Amino acid sequence: MVYIQKRLRLPAVRRGFHLITDLLVAELPELERLRVGTAHFFIQHTSASLSINENADPTVRVDFEAYFNRAVPENAPYFRHTQEGPDDMPAHLKAAMLGHAVSVPITNGELALGTWQGIYLGEHRNQGGRRWVVATLMGAE
């Protein structure tokens, strides 16, 4: 059994949902060594999320952003955590709803995502900055 762990730095992106599958794979050449296993990705932030969804039609990501902005509006009068701006508490809630980690099977050196699946970074802050993801690869060569 092989275990590989790396901390990956993502570029800063605008608020919204972004496909990061190719960015992650590009930083993990060790992936090619594994015949079978699991890749686990964990984002080290409380105002951003990871999820898996549609990788082909960009309107899905636009619709995700529109939905979550309506589900968790900024400036809600019941929010107490507002020191860092009106997008801060909604960002924490969106991240909690979507999650901070995804796991993907590894098959013959590649992520075994479905044909229309990709890994999303949900950037829920207006000025989120660069984000850190811990990637852990586990498997057999």
Q: How sure is the predictor about 48, in pLDDT bands with cuts at 50, 70 and 90?
A: very high
Whichever domain contains 97, its CATH number is: 2.60.120.460
- pLDDT (tens digit per residue) in 95-122: 999 999 999 999 999 999 999 999 999 9
Per-residue pLDDT, averaged over 47-55, amounts to: 98
Residue 101 lies in a domain: yes
Q: Would you tell me how many other CB atoms lie within 10 Å of the CB of residue 42?
A: 16
Within-domain flag for 113: no
The verdict on pTM exceeding 0.85 is yes
Q: What is the domain range of residue 49?
A: 2-75+83-106+118-135
C-alpha to C-alpha distance for 17 and 78, rounded to whole angstroms:
26
Q: Is 133 left (phi over 0), alpha (psi -120 to 50) or beta?
A: beta
In sequence order, the β-bridge partners of residue 53 are: 118
